[in-house]
Protein backbone atom coordinates (compact mmCIF):
# COMPACT_ATOMS: atom_id res chain seq x y z
CA UNK A 1 0.00 0.00 0.00
CA UNK A 2 1.71 3.18 -1.12
CA UNK A 3 0.51 6.59 -0.11
CA UNK A 4 0.91 9.69 -2.16
CA UNK A 5 1.69 12.68 0.07
CA UNK A 6 0.34 15.15 -2.46
CA UNK A 7 -3.13 13.59 -2.14
CA UNK A 8 -3.13 13.51 1.65
CA UNK A 9 -5.23 16.28 3.22
CA UNK A 10 -2.69 16.54 6.05
CA UNK A 11 0.45 17.00 3.94
CA UNK A 12 0.08 20.73 3.26
CA UNK A 13 -1.81 21.61 6.48
CA UNK A 14 -4.85 22.77 4.51
CA UNK A 15 -2.85 25.46 2.70
CA UNK A 16 -1.93 27.20 5.96
CA UNK A 17 1.45 27.74 7.55
CA UNK A 18 2.36 25.39 10.37
CA UNK A 19 1.56 26.74 13.83
CA UNK A 20 3.95 26.65 16.72
CA UNK A 21 1.83 28.66 19.15
CA UNK A 22 -1.85 28.83 20.07
CA UNK A 23 -3.85 31.49 18.23
CA UNK A 24 -4.61 34.66 20.25
CA UNK A 25 -8.41 34.27 20.02
CA UNK A 26 -8.09 30.83 21.63
CA UNK A 27 -6.13 32.30 24.54
CA UNK A 28 -8.84 34.92 25.02
CA UNK A 29 -11.55 32.26 24.89
CA UNK A 30 -9.70 30.08 27.41
CA UNK A 31 -9.13 32.85 29.95
CA UNK A 32 -12.57 34.34 29.27
CA UNK A 33 -14.07 30.95 30.08
CA UNK A 34 -12.22 30.90 33.39
CA UNK A 35 -13.49 34.42 34.20
CA UNK A 36 -17.04 33.41 33.29
CA UNK A 37 -16.81 30.41 35.62
CA UNK A 38 -15.62 32.63 38.48
CA UNK A 39 -18.50 35.09 37.92
CA UNK A 40 -20.94 32.18 37.78
CA UNK A 41 -19.62 30.73 41.03
CA UNK A 42 -19.90 34.10 42.76
CA UNK A 43 -23.52 34.46 41.54
CA UNK A 44 -24.28 30.90 42.71
CA UNK A 45 -22.65 31.34 46.11
CA UNK A 46 -24.17 34.79 46.73
CA UNK A 47 -27.65 33.26 47.08
CA UNK A 48 -26.53 30.99 49.87
CA UNK A 49 -24.49 33.75 51.47
CA UNK A 50 -27.61 35.95 51.47
CA UNK A 51 -29.64 33.19 53.09
CA UNK A 52 -27.13 32.46 55.84
CA UNK A 53 -26.54 36.12 56.68
CA UNK A 54 -30.30 36.75 56.90
CA UNK A 55 -30.68 33.66 59.05
CA UNK A 56 -27.99 34.93 61.41
CA UNK A 57 -29.45 38.47 61.65
CA UNK A 58 -32.98 37.20 62.40
CA UNK A 59 -32.02 34.84 65.18
CA UNK A 60 -34.86 34.95 67.73
CA UNK A 61 -37.15 37.21 65.69
CA UNK A 62 -39.62 35.13 63.60
CA UNK A 63 -41.19 38.13 61.79
CA UNK A 64 -37.82 39.37 60.53
CA UNK A 65 -36.97 35.84 59.40
CA UNK A 66 -39.97 35.74 57.06
CA UNK A 67 -39.00 39.00 55.36
CA UNK A 68 -35.36 37.93 54.94
CA UNK A 69 -36.44 34.50 53.71
CA UNK A 70 -38.70 36.14 51.11
CA UNK A 71 -35.76 38.28 49.98
CA UNK A 72 -33.65 35.12 49.66
CA UNK A 73 -36.34 33.46 47.53
CA UNK A 74 -36.37 36.49 45.24
CA UNK A 75 -32.64 36.17 44.55
CA UNK A 76 -32.79 32.36 44.30
CA UNK A 77 -32.97 32.39 40.44
CA UNK A 78 -29.53 34.00 40.57
CA UNK A 79 -28.20 30.55 41.57
CA UNK A 80 -29.50 29.09 38.30
CA UNK A 81 -27.96 31.97 36.35
CA UNK A 82 -24.69 31.22 38.13
CA UNK A 83 -24.88 27.55 37.15
CA UNK A 84 -25.55 28.50 33.52
CA UNK A 85 -22.60 30.93 33.58
CA UNK A 86 -20.31 28.20 34.96
CA UNK A 87 -21.43 25.75 32.25
CA UNK A 88 -20.97 28.39 29.55
CA UNK A 89 -17.54 29.22 30.93
CA UNK A 90 -16.50 25.57 30.82
CA UNK A 91 -17.65 25.31 27.21
CA UNK A 92 -15.79 28.48 26.26
CA UNK A 93 -12.67 27.26 28.04
CA UNK A 94 -12.87 23.94 26.16
CA UNK A 95 -13.17 25.77 22.83
CA UNK A 96 -10.16 27.89 23.75
CA UNK A 97 -8.13 24.86 24.77
CA UNK A 98 -8.98 22.54 21.86
CA UNK A 99 -10.09 24.96 19.11
CA UNK A 100 -13.38 24.94 17.24
CA UNK A 101 -12.77 21.64 15.43
CA UNK A 102 -11.00 19.97 18.35
CA UNK A 103 -13.87 20.70 20.71
CA UNK A 104 -16.50 19.43 18.27
CA UNK A 105 -18.15 22.74 17.37
CA UNK A 106 -17.02 22.29 13.76
CA UNK A 107 -16.84 18.72 12.47
CA UNK A 108 -13.61 18.72 10.50
CA UNK A 109 -10.86 16.13 10.99
CA UNK A 110 -8.39 18.36 9.11
CA UNK A 111 -9.28 21.29 11.35
CA UNK A 112 -8.88 19.10 14.40
CA UNK A 113 -5.35 18.19 13.32
CA UNK A 114 -4.56 21.90 12.81
CA UNK A 115 -6.03 22.79 16.21
CA UNK A 116 -3.95 20.14 17.97
CA UNK A 117 -0.73 20.99 16.13
CA UNK A 118 0.93 23.17 18.81
CA UNK A 119 0.36 20.47 21.44
CA UNK A 120 1.53 17.71 19.11
CA UNK A 121 4.72 19.61 18.39
CA UNK A 122 5.26 20.26 22.09
CA UNK A 123 4.76 16.57 22.89
CA UNK A 124 7.22 15.59 20.17
CA UNK A 125 9.82 18.01 21.56
CA UNK A 126 9.33 16.58 25.06
CA UNK A 127 9.79 13.03 23.75
CA UNK A 128 12.96 14.07 21.91
CA UNK A 129 14.37 15.63 25.09
CA UNK A 130 13.61 12.46 27.04
CA UNK A 131 15.45 10.38 24.46
CA UNK A 132 18.44 12.71 24.52
CA UNK A 133 18.67 12.40 28.31
CA UNK A 134 19.25 8.64 28.10
CA UNK A 135 22.79 8.16 26.75
CA UNK A 136 22.49 4.36 26.67
CA UNK A 137 19.88 4.54 23.91
CA UNK A 138 22.43 6.04 21.54
CA UNK A 139 24.78 3.10 22.04
CA UNK A 140 22.18 0.36 21.60
CA UNK A 141 22.67 -0.16 17.91
CA UNK A 142 26.40 0.65 17.83
CA UNK A 143 27.97 -2.68 18.85
CA UNK A 144 25.22 -5.10 17.96
CA UNK A 145 26.32 -7.96 15.74
CA UNK A 146 23.85 -9.79 13.57
CA UNK A 147 23.37 -13.40 14.51
CA UNK A 148 22.48 -16.07 12.00
CA UNK A 149 19.85 -18.55 13.13
CA UNK A 150 18.92 -21.93 11.64
CA UNK A 151 15.43 -23.41 11.90
CA UNK A 152 15.16 -26.95 13.33
CA UNK A 153 13.58 -29.39 10.84
CA UNK A 154 11.75 -31.26 13.60
CA UNK A 155 10.16 -28.57 15.74
CA UNK A 156 10.80 -25.29 13.88
CA UNK A 157 12.80 -23.70 16.73
CA UNK A 158 15.35 -21.05 15.70
CA UNK A 159 18.78 -22.20 16.87
CA UNK A 160 22.19 -20.55 16.51
CA UNK A 161 24.17 -21.59 13.47
CA UNK A 162 26.94 -23.31 15.48
CA UNK A 163 24.58 -25.64 17.37
CA UNK A 164 24.84 -29.38 16.70
CA UNK A 165 21.58 -30.30 18.44
CA UNK A 166 18.30 -28.41 18.85
CA UNK A 167 17.98 -26.99 22.34
CA UNK A 168 14.19 -27.34 22.17
CA UNK A 169 13.61 -30.91 21.00
CA UNK A 170 17.17 -32.38 21.02
CA UNK A 171 17.13 -33.43 17.35
CA UNK A 172 20.35 -33.28 15.30
CA UNK A 173 20.60 -30.05 13.31
pLDDT at 14 over 70: no
pLDDT at site 33: 96
Question: Does residue 76 contact residue 46 with C-beta atoms inside 8 Å?
Answer: no
Torsion of CA 37, 42, 43, 46, to 10 degrees: 160
Contacts of 37 (CB under 8 A, 6+ apart): 85, 86, 89, 90, 93
pLDDT of residue 17: 60
- Give the pLDDT band (50/70/90) at residue 92: very high
Element (H, E) at 16: none
d(CA 31, CA 37): 10
| pLDDT value for 37 | 97
Condensed to tens digits (0 to 9), the pLDDT of residues 114-166 reads: 777 777 777 777 777 777 777 766 566 555 566 788 888 888 888 888 888 88
Q: How is residue 154 annotated by DSSP?
A: T
Domain boundaries, the chain: 17-99
Task: Give the separation between CA 171 and CA 37, rounded to whole angstroms.
Answer: 75
Residue 104: how many other CB atoms lie within 10 Å: 11
Amino acid sequence: MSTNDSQSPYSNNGGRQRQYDVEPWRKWAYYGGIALQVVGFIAFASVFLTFFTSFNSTFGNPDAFDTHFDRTLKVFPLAFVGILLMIGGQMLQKIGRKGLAGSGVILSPQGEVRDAEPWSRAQGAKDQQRLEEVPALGRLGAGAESQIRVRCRSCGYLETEDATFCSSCGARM
